[in-house]
Amino acid sequence: MAGKPATIEKIGDALEWARWACEANPATLTPETAQAILAHVTGKGRAWLFAHRDDPLPPDQSERFMALVSRAAGGEPLAYLVGEREFWGLPFAVTPDVLIPRPETEALVEVVLNWTRHRALSEPSVVDVGTGSGAIAIVLALELPSARLAAIEISPEALQVARANAVRHGVAERITFVQGDLLAGQKEPFDVIVANLPYINREELSALEVGRWEPRVALDGGPDGLELIRRLLRQAPPLINPGGLLALEIGYDQGKQVMELCRQAFPAAQITLLPDLAGLDRIVKVEI
């Protein structure tokens, strides 16, 4: 293993220190993560960093870089360290109060977009239940300029992050943000209900690394992982318009169970189980 650089005075020193840190923590730290942290601290792209190895690195940036890399080596997610995660090709602010958006959730957005664009709805009404960072609702607002959107979240801290992201992307005035428990208190039905609810089994969650860092309220699906999905399906029937859509993200091993729960809630609906890019069960699509 390469020796630890004695000082960090230049960009090149930081890159060497990052290489040393990765070799010392191979299970938790990758070069890509360390380089992303240096890019974040300096405000420069990775290509710029390698082209300017001899440029000085101010002491405050050096100290911040080492502190963040050390936290990353301890397992803390990069998104929380830099305060941002990309979703749908767009930057979203994230804090430890919200779940970090995952690439597989983009498939849930695609299901809603494809369904909505094939319907002759002049102003489709869409609600994102458990909005978290607001990523789903905000992308739908951007992609469906005529839609009327609501975003519901039980956590006031998460809702604050979602509002800030909506402002950042210029759609805050088109989304009604509601602090609430799933669909409780909603009066008017929607054309589309979309939800990426907590679906991890509570016992399993305690053993997962994700449970150390991301908000438990956004992960804990109860004893079997389906507690919130069951509750949503009890609430949903009177709150979805005839001909409407319910789209749920689920755990890889929950397909059959969630489809059965959906059949009980919507006996006449067309219910489809869709895989993610890895071929695992990921989305249940319920066409009312």
275 and 139 both lie in a single domain: yes
254 and 170 both lie in a single domain: yes
Percent with pLDDT over 70 in the chain:
98
The sign one gets for the Cα dihedral 115, 116, 121, 125 is positive
SS3 144: coil
- Tell me, what's the pLDDT at 5? 65
Task: Report long-range pairs for 115-120 (Cβ below 8 Å, ≥24 apart).
Answer: 115/192, 115/245, 115/247, 115/285, 115/287, 116/144, 116/147, 116/191, 116/192, 116/245, 117/144, 119/191, 119/243
Domain boundary among 76, 108, 131: 76
| Assigned domain for 51 exists | yes
Task: State how many domains the chain has.
Answer: 2
**Integer Cα distance of 16 and 23 in angstroms:** 11
114 and 158 both lie in a single domain: yes
- Tell me, what's the pLDDT at 134? 98
| Assigned domain for 83 exists | no
56 and 129 both lie in a single domain: no
Mean pLDDT of the 81-109 span:
97
8-state DSSP, 267: T
132 and 264 both lie in a single domain: yes
Mean pLDDT of the 23-30 span:
95
Mean pLDDT of the 180-188 span:
97
| Assigned domain for 6 exists | no
162 and 225 both lie in a single domain: yes
- Tell me, what's the pLDDT at 120? 83
Helix (H) or strand (E) holding 128: strand 125-129
| Assigned domain for 54 exists | yes
Q: Is the pLDDT reported for residue 110 higher than 60? A: yes
| Assigned domain for 280 exists | yes
pTM of the model: 0.94
Domain boundary among 45, 76, 107: 76
Percent with pLDDT over 90 in the chain:
94
Q: Is the pLDDT reported for residue 266 higher than 80? A: yes
6 vs 36 pLDDT, higher one: 36
CB atoms within 10 A of CB 49: 20
Question: Which residues span the domain enclosing 40?
Answer: 11-76
Alpha helices per DSSP H over the chain = 11-24, 31-42, 46-51, 59-73, 78-82, 105-117, 135-143, 156-168, 202-205, 210-213, 227-235, 255-265
163 and 66 both lie in a single domain: no
Domain containing residue 49: CATH number = 1.10.8.10
- Tell me, what's the pLDDT at 119? 93
- Which range (44-48, 171-175, 207-211) has the least confidence? 207-211
**Integer Cα distance of 108 and 105 in angstroms:** 5
164 and 193 both lie in a single domain: yes
Domain containing residue 138: CATH number = 3.40.50.150
| Assigned domain for 273 exists | yes
Pair 72, 29: CB distance under 8 Å: yes
Q: Is the pLDDT reported for residue 49 higher than 90? A: yes
Mean pLDDT of the 55-84 span:
97
Work out the mean pLDDT of the chain and round it to a whole number: 96
147 and 250 both lie in a single domain: yes
| Assigned domain for 88 exists | no
Pair 133, 165: CB distance under 8 Å: yes
| Assigned domain for 28 exists | yes
- Tell me, what's the pLDDT at 1? 44
Q: Per-residue confidence at 55, pLDDT binned at 50, 70, 90?
A: very high
Q: Per-residue confidence at 4, pLDDT binned at 50, 70, 90?
A: low
- Which range (41-50, 63-72, 132-141, 206-215) has the least confidence? 206-215
SS3 64: helix
